[in-house]
Amino acid sequence: MVPRFALAFSHQVSYQALRRRMPALLEARRLRKTYGGRVLLDGVDLRLAGETVTTLGGPSGTGKTTLLRILGLLSDPDEGQLLLDGVNLHSVIPHAARRRIALVAQAPVMFPGTVLDNVRTGPRLAGEELPEATARALVVRAGLPPELLRQDAQSLSGGEKLRVAVARSLALRPEAWLLDEPTAALDAERADLIVRLLRELAAEGAAILVVTHDARALEQLEGPHFQLSSGRLVEGRPLSGDAS
């Protein structure tokens, strides 16, 4: 019942959000990152094109989260460059650039306050007040019942927190999305909803990278797939059934 309601609602929201824009392009060139002598990224080239959902897999501890953090400008590579729509992100004010790149962590932290407060955070940081109706629409679009708006965000389940984090980022209408195992804490139905949302966002022009081991999600997201292995990205889908 929730997903159908969400769908009905999402069309309303999309009045504003669905305006297509120039497809975004987030590029990483020759990224290198080491931690304590261990090479995690060894010259990684990645081109995240708008209108595309790229997926990333690879064994635990190979540096997928590290790569997302670098792409999300939370950590600097030792070497290499990042470009958003052709502009070198090193020459851009970091906090302005980060607004354009959503980073949804694997276990997102909720800020103190209600779900509504959380969804309003991004615009508020820029001095704008998100109308409650818009916040409600975003929450629904992220797959949560609108009644949750007044609930204390800290009290939510892991899966709900993840969807609040998605709604929180939606409020900024970012050009690029980086998601770290977004379906891991969700049941199949909610996972499908997130996957559908990602496809919608891509259709609107966003460049999306999803780290995932979820075979079902991988099946539904037909964009390019990479495996991170020994510091390099290898293109190609894993054999079915391999969810390591």
Partner 1 sequence: MSYVSVSLPQLLLSLGLMAMAIAISSHNRLGLERDLAIGTVRAAVQLFAVGLLLTFVFQNEHPTTVFGVTAVMVVVGGWTAARRIAHGPGTAVLFRHATLAVLVAGVVVLVPVFAFVIRPPRWYEARLVIPISGMILSNAMNGVALVFERVFASINEDAAGVEQLLSLGATPKQAVERHVRAAMNAALRPTINALLTVGLVALPGMMTGQIVSGTAPDQAVRYQLVIMYQLVAVAAVAGALAARFARALSFDEREQLRTFPDPRVR
Q: Pairing state of beta strands 87-88 and 79-84?
A: antiparallel
DSSP 114: B
In order, the DSSP letters of 68-88 are: HHHHTTSS--SEEEEEETTEE
Q: Pairing state of beta strands 52-57 and 207-211?
A: parallel
Q: How far apart are CA 10 and CA 67, in angstroms?
A: 31
Contact range with ligand ATP by CB under 6 A, out of 59-67, 90-98, 121-129, 232-240: 59-67
Q: How far apart are CA 30 and CA 45, in angstroms?
A: 5
Q: Does 5 bind ligand ATP (CB under 6 A)?
A: no
- The pattern of x and - marking residues 173 through 202 that bind ligand ATP according to CB under 6 A reads ------------------------------
By beta-carbon proximity to partner 1, the closer residue of 168 and 225 is 168
Interface residues for partner 1 in 162-201 (CB under 8 A)? 165, 168-169, 172
Which amino acid, one-letter code, is at 227? Q
By beta-carbon proximity to ligand ATP, the closer residue of 8 and 107 is 107
Q: How far apart are CA 189 and CA 119, in angstroms?
A: 23
Number of neighbours of residue 60 by Cβ within 10 angstroms: 8
Q: Does 94 bind partner 1 (CB under 8 A)?
A: yes
Find the shortest distance in angstroms from Cβ 65 to Mg ion: 3
Interface residues for partner 1 in 67-86 (CB under 8 A)? 72-76
SS3 category, 24 = coil
Find the shortest distance in angstroms from Cβ 3 to partner 1: 26
Cα angle value 31/35/39 (rounded, 5°): 55
Contact range with partner 1 by CB under 8 A, out of 16-24, 52-60, 120-128, 188-196: 120-128
Q: Does 62 bind ligand ATP (CB under 6 A)?
A: yes
Binding site for ligand ATP (CB under 6 A): 35, 40, 60-66
Binding site for partner 1 (CB under 8 A): 72-76, 93-96, 98-99, 101-103, 105, 108-109, 111-112, 121-122, 125-126, 165, 168-169, 172
